[in-house]
Structure 1
Amino acid sequence: MRGARAVLTRKPRTDAKRDRGQIVAVARAAFAAEGLDLPVREIARRAGLGVATVYRHFPSRSDLISAVLVEQVTLCGAEMRAALADPDPWRALSGTIRRFAERQVSDRGLNEALLGSHAAGAPFAEQRRAHAGALARLVERARSAGAVRDGVSVEDVRVGLLAIASFRALPAEKAAAATQRLANLLLAGLSQRQP
């Protein structure tokens, strides 16, 4: 009986799993909207938990930030794999550009960390290189299929994405409209289809 009890206590409690998920979800939304400098006590307050509970799951602030960024990078990787699997090269490329644009508004703080110079983004350099390689393959596929204008390179697309990313500095309400408009202009400029 004593051995059975030891095994049971090693399993994470249901409420502990729920608390951890709640902390990550709240932190993700808060960091996306307000940046990574938000205090842990504010994350705990928004999650309806004590600060000690947050630190029990994430012993340091950087552990919490990493958990949120891992989730974000994993989602981006899954979307890039789905785009590469899409049989329509233009839809795959244009959808990737549109998702990137949407994230510049919805995930501002997270993207600053992942795409900027914030130290929290450094551990994800390899994943960023993999995503960049996937983007290059998407552009090449679209060019080979005649879906983009002759001479369009991955560098052209990257310049457009950098321009879109620059709108993160705008107030949220202006960023949304400007980002969407620039994404539309970029896609119109890339497309082989004539109006």
Structure 2
Amino acid sequence: MTDRLPHVLRSDAASNRARILEAARTLFSARGLDVPMREVARRAGVGPATLYRHFPTKQALVTEAFADQMRECRAIVDRGCADPDPWHGLCSVIEKICALHARDRGFTEAFMSTFPNAADVTADRAYTVKAVTELALRAEESGRLRPDFLIPDDLILMLMANRGIHASTPSSRAAASRRFAGFVIQMIQASPQHSPLPPATSMNR
């Protein structure tokens, strides 16, 4: 019996950690990063002491909760940069980044926040900005991107506007984000072609 006790404790700790991360992702994605740590603990079904034992600070919890989204964001940028057509690659990055951030309001806040002790978040954000900057320069050199589009300023502006989309359901928010990305792409073209935008959706559905 005593030989099994450490394994049971480790299993319980892993289960608690998984529940905390699931609760944090759910709450942060829906409401942003202002959700109190005690509410995360309550949602996870653990005590505050257990939460703080796994994540001593909210910064640590946010970093771990959105680690998958950070990796996905980096993969989106890598695929866009690998596209032999830099304009097509940039459009793909804008569309997919907006979609990713529309799914997770908290991720947008985490991406744009300054976490001085979160090396992973800082490094991933710096990598993303640098890669998109280089991609945008190539798109501008190809003659497709208007020369006054600024990185990172306009990239952050785009993410802030995308974060401001409010809808009653995730599917409506995703549809609105696709349309917003379509507007952005047309606005930053050197010679706008005004191709059809993604369909509009009722923000109340």
TM-score (normalised: structure 2): 0.68
In structure 1, list runs of 5 or more residues that go unmatched: none
Question: How far 1:106 moved relative to its partner?
Answer: 1.9
Gap change, CA 1:87 and 1:122, over 3 Å in 2 = farther
Select which of 37, 42, 45 maps to 1:45: 42
Secondary structure of 1:32's match? helix
What CA distance in whole angstroms lies between the structure 1 residues aligned with 2:57 and 2:192?
51
- Summarize the alignment of residues 63-142 of structure 1 with structure 2, pairs less than 5 Å apart: 63-115=60-112, 118-120=113-115, 123=118, 124-142=121-139
What CA distance in whole angstroms lies between the structure 2 residues aligned with 1:167 and 1:141?
24
Gap change, CA 1:42 and 1:122, over 3 Å in 2 = same
In structure 2, list runs of 5 or more residues that go unmatched: 196-205
What CA distance in whole angstroms lies between the structure 2 residues aligned with 1:74 and 1:119?
18
Select which of 181, 184, 187 maps to 2:182: 184
Question: How far 1:21 moved relative to its partner?
Answer: 2.5
Aligned length: 185
Question: How far 1:43 moved relative to its partner?
Answer: 1.6
Q: Tell me the percent identity.
A: 33
Question: How far 1:135 moved relative to its partner?
Answer: 0.4
What CA distance in whole angstroms lies between the structure 2 residues aligned with 1:186 and 1:169?
15
What CA distance in whole angstroms lies between the structure 1 residues aligned with 2:27 and 2:9?
26
Contact persistence 1:97–1:161 (CA under 8 A): no
Structure 2 residue identity aligned to 1:86: D
Contact persistence 1:65–1:120 (CA under 8 A): no
Gap change, CA 1:185 and 1:170, over 3 Å in 2 = closer
TM-score (normalised: structure 1): 0.71
Structure 2 residue identity aligned to 1:184: G
> 2:167 matched to 1:172?
yes
Structure 1 residue identity aligned to 2:166: P
